[in-house]
C-alpha cells in the first residue's frame, strides 16, 4: 500500500467537487448536500460498530474503509482534507494520552 494513498484520495475528492453527479458517486453526495453526507457517515459508523461487536474480522475492515472514506468526503465537503487530520495526528504523536488531555484542558478543548 502506498503511504500517499490519502493524498491521492484527497486529490480525487477535490476534483469530484466539480464533477457530474451522474458520473461520480462522490459528486452525487456533494450534490445531495451535507445532511446526506452526514447520514451516510452515521450509517457507516453504525455498520462498523455492529461488525466489531460481532467480531467479524473481514467485515470490520470493509466497514471501517467505508467509514474512513465517507469521513474524507465529509471533510472535502467542509473545505478540509485528510492532510489536515494527518497534521493533527502528527502533532499528537509521541504525546501520552494524559499529556494530550492536559493540553486540551488548558486551551478549553482545542489543544492546537
Ligand atoms: N473508496 C471509495 C468508496 N468506498 C465506498 N464507496 C461507495 O460508498 C457506498 C457505500 O454505501 P453502502 O455500503 O451503504 O452501499 P449502497 O447501498 O450502494 O449506498 P446508498 O445507495 O445507500 O448510498 C457505495 O456506493 C460504494 O461504492 C466508495 N466510492 C468511491 N471511493 C473512492 O472514491 C473515488 C471516486 O469515486 P467516484 O466519485 O464514484 O468516481 C474512487 O475512485 C475510489 O477511490
Write down the pLDDT at residue 108: 73
Q: If you ran DSSP here, which 8-state letter would residue 17 be given?
A: T
As a whole number, the mean pLDDT across the chain is: 92
DSSP 3-state assignment of 44? Answer: helix
Q: Which residues of the chain have pLDDT under 70?
A: 1-3, 112
Residue nearest to atom 16 of ligand 1 (CA): 40
H or E segment to which residue 49 belongs: helix 34-53
Residues 78, 76: Cα–Cα separation, whole Å: 5
* Ligand 1 centroid – CA 25 distance (Å): 6
Q: Over the stretch 62-79, which tens digit does the pLDDT of each residue have?
A: 999 999 999 999 999 999
ipTM score here? Answer: 0.91
Distance 79 CA to ligand 1 centre (A): 20
Query: Measuring CA to CA, which residue among 88, 90, 73 is closest to residue 39?
Result: 73
What is the pTM assigned to this prediction?
0.90
Nearest CA residue ID for atom 27, ligand 1: 25
Atom 37, ligand 1: residue with shortest CA distance: 24
Q: Locate 54 and state its grid cell.
A: 460481532
Amino acid at each position: 500500500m502506498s503511504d500517499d494513498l490519502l493524498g491521492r484520495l484527497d486529490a480525487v475528492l477535490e476534483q469530484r467537487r466539480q464533477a457530474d453527479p451522474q458520473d461520480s458517486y462522490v459528486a452525487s453526495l456533494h450534490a445531495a448536500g451535507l445532511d446526506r453526507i452526514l447520514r451516510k457517515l452515521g450509517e457507516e459508523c453504525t455498520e462498523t460498530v455492529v461488525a466489531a461487536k460481532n467480531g467479524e474480522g473481514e467485515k470490520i475492515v470493509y466497514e471501517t474503509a467505508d467509514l474512513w472514506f465517507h469521513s474524507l468526503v465529509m471533510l472535502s465537503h467542509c473545505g478540509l482534507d485528510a492532510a489536515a487530520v494527518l497534521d493533527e495526528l502528527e502533532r499528537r504523536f509521541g504525546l501520552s494520552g494524559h499529556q494530550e488531555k492536559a493540553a486540551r484542558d488548558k486551551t478549553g478543548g482545542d489543544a492546537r
